[in-house]
Amino acid sequence: MHSKETLLFEGTNFKKYFKRDLFIEKSLLEYDGIPLLCVCIDDSGQRYFCNCTEFRTYERWIIYPVSLPQLIKMINGVATPADVLSDGTSNVYVYTIDWKNEKDTLKEIPESALAEYDKLPVGEYLGTRPNQFLEYSQYLNNIYVKLGKIQYKKIEGTHITHSMEIDWKCNHLFARVPKCLTAFTLKLFFDENHKDIEKMDTHGIDITHLTETEYVYACV
Protein backbone atom coordinates (compact mmCIF):
# COMPACT_ATOMS: atom_id res chain seq x y z
CA MET A 1 0.00 0.00 0.00
CA HIS A 2 2.87 2.38 0.65
CA SER A 3 5.06 3.86 -2.05
CA LYS A 4 8.79 4.32 -1.66
CA GLU A 5 8.31 7.68 -3.34
CA THR A 6 6.22 8.95 -0.43
CA LEU A 7 8.76 9.96 2.19
CA LEU A 8 7.44 11.55 5.35
CA PHE A 9 10.49 13.74 5.99
CA GLU A 10 11.77 14.49 2.53
CA GLY A 11 14.47 17.17 2.35
CA THR A 12 15.55 16.78 5.97
CA ASN A 13 18.33 15.07 7.93
CA PHE A 14 15.95 12.50 9.37
CA LYS A 15 17.58 9.47 7.75
CA LYS A 16 20.99 10.66 8.97
CA TYR A 17 19.72 10.59 12.56
CA PHE A 18 17.34 7.62 12.39
CA LYS A 19 19.45 5.50 10.00
CA ARG A 20 16.45 4.68 7.82
CA ASP A 21 13.68 6.43 5.93
CA LEU A 22 10.02 6.41 6.84
CA PHE A 23 7.48 5.99 4.05
CA ILE A 24 3.85 7.01 4.45
CA GLU A 25 1.69 3.88 4.38
CA LYS A 26 -1.58 5.54 5.36
CA SER A 27 -2.47 9.17 6.04
CA LEU A 28 -5.06 9.36 8.82
CA LEU A 29 -5.48 13.12 9.16
CA GLU A 30 -4.45 15.93 6.83
CA TYR A 31 -4.49 19.72 6.76
CA ASP A 32 -4.45 21.37 3.34
CA GLY A 33 -3.05 18.17 1.85
CA ILE A 34 -0.30 17.87 4.46
CA PRO A 35 -0.36 14.72 6.64
CA LEU A 36 -0.53 15.48 10.34
CA LEU A 37 -1.29 11.96 11.54
CA CYS A 38 -0.12 8.94 9.61
CA VAL A 39 1.18 5.39 9.73
CA CYS A 40 4.66 4.99 8.30
CA ILE A 41 6.79 1.96 7.52
CA ASP A 42 10.54 1.50 7.11
CA ASP A 43 12.42 -0.86 4.80
CA SER A 44 12.42 -3.62 7.42
CA GLY A 45 8.61 -3.59 7.67
CA GLN A 46 8.49 -1.92 11.10
CA ARG A 47 5.57 0.46 11.38
CA TYR A 48 5.33 3.78 13.20
CA PHE A 49 2.38 5.87 14.36
CA CYS A 50 3.45 9.43 13.55
CA ASN A 51 1.67 12.36 15.19
CA CYS A 52 2.45 15.99 14.29
CA THR A 53 1.81 18.08 17.41
CA GLU A 54 3.05 21.43 16.02
CA PHE A 55 3.16 22.73 12.46
CA ARG A 56 2.73 26.52 12.58
CA THR A 57 6.19 28.09 13.06
CA TYR A 58 8.02 24.75 13.07
CA GLU A 59 7.17 21.04 12.94
CA ARG A 60 7.30 18.62 15.86
CA TRP A 61 6.52 14.96 15.36
CA ILE A 62 6.06 12.25 17.96
CA ILE A 63 6.93 8.88 16.44
CA TYR A 64 5.65 5.73 18.14
CA PRO A 65 6.96 2.29 17.05
CA VAL A 66 3.82 0.18 16.69
CA SER A 67 3.06 -3.51 16.21
CA LEU A 68 0.40 -4.84 13.86
CA PRO A 69 -1.92 -5.95 16.70
CA GLN A 70 -1.67 -2.47 18.24
CA LEU A 71 -2.30 -0.76 14.92
CA ILE A 72 -5.26 -2.97 14.05
CA LYS A 73 -6.87 -2.17 17.40
CA MET A 74 -6.64 1.55 16.69
CA ILE A 75 -7.72 1.38 13.04
CA ASN A 76 -10.70 -0.85 13.91
CA GLY A 77 -11.79 1.51 16.68
CA VAL A 78 -11.37 -1.11 19.39
CA ALA A 79 -9.16 1.24 21.38
CA THR A 80 -7.90 4.81 21.19
CA PRO A 81 -4.28 5.59 20.28
CA ALA A 82 -3.78 6.80 23.85
CA ASP A 83 -5.11 3.50 25.22
CA VAL A 84 -2.72 1.52 23.03
CA LEU A 85 0.43 3.62 22.95
CA SER A 86 0.47 5.62 26.17
CA ASP A 87 1.54 2.79 28.43
CA GLY A 88 4.23 4.72 30.26
CA THR A 89 6.88 2.06 29.55
CA SER A 90 7.79 2.54 25.87
CA ASN A 91 10.16 4.99 24.23
CA VAL A 92 9.16 7.39 21.46
CA TYR A 93 11.05 9.60 19.03
CA VAL A 94 10.59 13.37 18.99
CA TYR A 95 11.57 14.96 15.69
CA THR A 96 11.63 18.75 15.43
CA ILE A 97 12.10 20.64 12.15
CA ASP A 98 12.89 24.37 12.17
CA TRP A 99 12.45 25.16 8.48
CA LYS A 100 13.23 28.87 8.89
CA ASN A 101 16.64 28.30 10.46
CA GLU A 102 17.27 25.05 8.57
CA LYS A 103 17.75 23.01 11.74
CA ASP A 104 16.28 19.72 12.88
CA THR A 105 16.76 17.44 15.89
CA LEU A 106 15.78 13.90 16.76
CA LYS A 107 15.74 12.48 20.27
CA GLU A 108 14.48 9.29 21.86
CA ILE A 109 12.71 9.67 25.20
CA PRO A 110 10.33 7.66 27.41
CA GLU A 111 6.72 8.17 26.35
CA SER A 112 5.95 9.17 29.94
CA ALA A 113 8.37 12.13 29.62
CA LEU A 114 6.39 13.79 26.81
CA ALA A 115 5.03 17.25 27.50
CA GLU A 116 1.28 17.34 27.95
CA TYR A 117 0.73 19.06 24.60
CA ASP A 118 2.66 16.29 22.85
CA LYS A 119 0.76 13.39 24.41
CA LEU A 120 -2.02 11.56 22.61
CA PRO A 121 -5.47 12.87 23.56
CA VAL A 122 -7.36 10.66 25.98
CA GLY A 123 -10.67 9.26 24.76
CA GLU A 124 -10.24 10.19 21.08
CA TYR A 125 -10.62 7.41 18.51
CA LEU A 126 -9.27 7.51 14.97
CA GLY A 127 -11.58 8.62 12.19
CA THR A 128 -14.60 10.86 11.99
CA ARG A 129 -17.07 8.55 10.24
CA PRO A 130 -17.99 4.84 10.26
CA ASN A 131 -15.76 2.52 8.22
CA GLN A 132 -13.47 5.41 7.31
CA PHE A 133 -10.44 3.13 7.33
CA LEU A 134 -12.16 -0.09 6.28
CA GLU A 135 -9.92 -0.73 3.26
CA TYR A 136 -6.77 -0.12 5.31
CA SER A 137 -8.11 -2.34 8.09
CA GLN A 138 -8.65 -5.17 5.62
CA TYR A 139 -5.16 -4.64 4.24
CA LEU A 140 -3.59 -4.88 7.72
CA ASN A 141 -5.64 -7.91 8.69
CA ASN A 142 -4.61 -9.64 5.48
CA ILE A 143 -0.95 -9.14 6.37
CA TYR A 144 -1.54 -10.20 9.96
CA VAL A 145 -3.39 -13.41 9.14
CA LYS A 146 -1.75 -14.56 5.90
CA LEU A 147 1.84 -13.49 6.33
CA GLY A 148 2.16 -13.55 10.07
CA LYS A 149 4.22 -10.36 10.12
CA ILE A 150 3.88 -9.54 13.79
CA GLN A 151 6.17 -8.67 16.65
CA TYR A 152 7.84 -11.55 18.47
CA LYS A 153 8.12 -12.02 22.19
CA LYS A 154 10.10 -14.85 23.75
CA ILE A 155 8.09 -16.89 26.25
CA GLU A 156 10.61 -18.84 28.28
CA GLY A 157 9.82 -22.46 29.04
CA THR A 158 6.47 -22.47 27.26
CA HIS A 159 5.44 -25.36 25.02
CA ILE A 160 2.33 -26.48 23.18
CA THR A 161 0.48 -29.78 23.79
CA HIS A 162 -1.62 -30.20 20.71
CA SER A 163 -1.46 -31.92 17.32
CA MET A 164 -1.67 -29.46 14.47
CA GLU A 165 -0.62 -28.67 10.93
CA ILE A 166 1.29 -25.54 10.12
CA ASP A 167 2.42 -24.05 6.84
CA TRP A 168 5.75 -22.78 5.64
CA LYS A 169 5.31 -19.08 4.90
CA CYS A 170 7.94 -16.41 4.37
CA ASN A 171 10.70 -18.49 6.00
CA HIS A 172 8.69 -18.92 9.19
CA LEU A 173 6.33 -21.60 10.44
CA PHE A 174 3.27 -20.45 12.33
CA ALA A 175 0.80 -22.45 14.40
CA ARG A 176 -2.42 -21.09 15.78
CA VAL A 177 -3.23 -22.66 19.12
CA PRO A 178 -5.26 -21.84 22.25
CA LYS A 179 -3.32 -20.18 25.05
CA CYS A 180 -4.14 -22.91 27.54
CA LEU A 181 -2.04 -25.56 25.79
CA THR A 182 1.45 -26.27 27.11
CA ALA A 183 3.28 -28.98 24.99
CA PHE A 184 2.74 -30.65 21.59
CA THR A 185 3.25 -33.01 18.68
CA LEU A 186 4.21 -31.08 15.59
CA LYS A 187 3.42 -32.08 12.03
CA LEU A 188 5.51 -30.24 9.46
CA PHE A 189 5.27 -30.19 5.67
CA PHE A 190 8.35 -28.76 4.01
CA ASP A 191 11.54 -29.32 2.09
CA GLU A 192 14.19 -27.03 0.64
CA ASN A 193 11.81 -25.94 -2.11
CA HIS A 194 8.81 -25.63 0.23
CA LYS A 195 7.20 -28.75 -1.26
CA ASP A 196 5.05 -31.01 0.86
CA ILE A 197 7.10 -33.62 2.71
CA GLU A 198 5.64 -34.91 5.93
CA LYS A 199 7.80 -34.93 9.04
CA MET A 200 6.73 -35.74 12.59
CA ASP A 201 8.42 -34.09 15.55
CA THR A 202 7.35 -34.63 19.14
CA HIS A 203 9.95 -32.42 20.75
CA GLY A 204 8.86 -29.37 22.71
CA ILE A 205 9.19 -26.19 20.65
CA ASP A 206 9.41 -22.81 22.32
CA ILE A 207 6.69 -20.29 21.60
CA THR A 208 8.43 -17.20 20.30
CA HIS A 209 5.37 -15.26 19.26
CA LEU A 210 2.63 -13.84 21.46
CA THR A 211 -0.29 -11.75 20.24
CA GLU A 212 -2.84 -9.83 22.26
CA THR A 213 -5.73 -11.84 20.87
CA GLU A 214 -7.27 -15.03 22.23
CA TYR A 215 -4.69 -17.08 20.36
CA VAL A 216 -0.93 -17.28 20.33
CA TYR A 217 1.14 -17.98 17.25
CA ALA A 218 4.08 -20.32 17.61
CA CYS A 219 7.09 -19.75 15.39
CA VAL A 220 9.50 -22.68 15.02
Residue 194 lies in a domain: yes
Range of the domain at 211: 163-219
pLDDT-derived band at 147, boundaries 50, 70, 90: low
Q: Which carries the bigger pLDDT value, residue 148 or residue 114?
A: 114
Residue 1 lies in a domain: no
By the 8 A CB rule, do 32 and 17 touch? Answer: no
> Does the pLDDT of residue 214 top 80, yes or no?
no
Averaged over 80-106, what is the pLDDT? 95
Residue 189 lies in a domain: yes
Residues comprising the chain, all counted: 220
Q: Which carries the bigger pLDDT value, residue 216 or residue 9?
A: 9
pLDDT, tens only, 133-144: 999 999 999 988
Averaged over 23-41, what is the pLDDT? 93
Residue 206 lies in a domain: yes
What is the C-alpha to C-alpha distance for residues 68 and 51, in angstroms, rounded to an integer?
A: 17
Residue 2 lies in a domain: no
pLDDT, tens only, 170-201: 333 334 434 333 333 333 333 344 333 333 33
> Does one domain contain both 126 and 64?
yes
Indicate the SS3 state at residue 98: strand
pLDDT, tens only, 54-87: 998 999 999 999 999 999 999 999 999 999 999 8
Averaged over 198-206, what is the pLDDT? 36
By the 8 A CB rule, do 151 and 108 touch? Answer: no
- What is residue 109's DSSP assignment? E
- Residue 1's pLDDT is what? 58
> Does one domain contain both 189 and 88?
no
- The CB density around residue 88, as the number of other CB atoms within 10 Å, is 8
* pTM (predicted TM-score): 0.67
pLDDT-derived band at 8, boundaries 50, 70, 90: very high
> Does one domain contain both 115 and 200?
no
